[in-house]
Amino acid sequence: MGMYVSNRLFAEPSFIEGMSRVLDIGGTLQEYNTSATEAEADMTAVKNDWRAVGNDMKMVFKRHEQRTLRK
């Protein structure tokens, strides 16, 4: 079964930024995506959670349909 992974919280670094993080012992280069308010951050998280549920349901329905058509 597929797994939904959200990278919303973490900014995606470029290759050069990624390489420089190897030497960043203090973690000073770590960046996070932010939201204007806590409510906005919560709403985004809830939307992503339901999107993951929807994607899982689509996959289950598709598998069920394929198995049913084979019989």
**Would you give the end-to-end CA distance of the chain in angstroms?**
22
pLDDT for 1: 46
Which sign does the torsion angle of CA 31, 36, 39, 43 carry? negative
pLDDT for 8: 62
pLDDT tier, 14 (very low <50, low <70, confident <90, very high otherwise):
confident
pLDDT for 10: 63
pLDDT for 51: 92
Residues 24-69 have pLDDT tens digits of 888 787 777 788 999 998 998 899 899 999 999 999 999 999 999 8
